[in-house]
């Protein structure tokens, strides 16, 4: 069986014991293409190191491809990459605005979900949506960027960083 890498920076997608949202599970099913591939979940650094060590030619090919394309269908110019990054940043800023009034109880709940229950960012987003946080003003309920914004704000309440231990 061939293997495929699913690349993410979400600790609880990578490490065993994480609580995956149904959207996380669907993405992994699609990546396996019905069991045709074993899906290895790694972070970006791990992917690049593995590729560099295991197949230097493929690593150089990917590097060149990344400079020219997003996937295999859409030419990606520098301006387009900047535009896509800007849009993602705007969406994250929008979510951070929504979660800005987070209270201590909400922060404690988000911390519990992420740190104690090992929920992925998508799972945290869905849990907050189902609890009615902020009038559940986002779509889809499992929006990964919203989960990141929730974790970021909750971590700040506790003078922590959501990208570092124990959050990620």
Yes or no: say if 142 and 22 are a contact pair by the CB < 8 Å rule. yes
Q: What is the pTM of this model?
A: 0.78
The angle formed by the CA atoms of residues 66, 54 and 3, to the nearest 5 degrees, is 80
pLDDT digits (tens, 9 = 90+) for 3-50: 888 888 899 999 888 999 999 999 999 989 888 889 989 888 887 788
The span from the CA of 29 to the CA of 39, in Å, is 9
pLDDT digits (tens, 9 = 90+) for 63-94: 676 666 544 455 556 676 667 777 777 888 88
| Domain ranges, ordered by start, for the chain | 2-75, 82-157
What is the pLDDT at residue 70? 46
- The closest alpha carbon to 167, from 105, 122, 112, belongs to 112
Alpha-carbon separation of residue 95 from 39, 59, 82, 129, 138 (angstroms): 30, 35, 20, 13, 8
């Amino acid at each position: 069986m061939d293997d495929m890498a699913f690349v993410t920076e979400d600790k609880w997608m990578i490490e065993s014991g994480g609580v995956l949202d149904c959207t996380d599970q669907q993405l992994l099913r699609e990546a396996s293409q019905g069991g045709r591939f074993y899906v290895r979940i790694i972070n970006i650094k791990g992917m690049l190191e593995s590729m560099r060590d295991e197949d230097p030619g493929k690593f150089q090919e990917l590097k060149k491809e990344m400079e020219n394309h997003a996937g295999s269908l859409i030419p990606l110019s520098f301006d387009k990459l900047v535009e896509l990054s800007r849009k993602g940043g705007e969406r994250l800023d929008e979510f951070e605005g929504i979660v800005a009034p987070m209270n201590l109880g909400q922060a404690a709940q988000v911390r519990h979900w992420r740190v104690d229950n090992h929920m992925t960012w998508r799972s945290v987003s869905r849990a907050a949506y189902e609890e009615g946080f902020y009038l559940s003003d986002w779509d889809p309920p499992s929006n990964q960027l919203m989960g990141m914004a929730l974790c970021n704000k909750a971590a700040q309440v506790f003078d922590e960083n959501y990208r570092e231990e124990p959050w990620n």
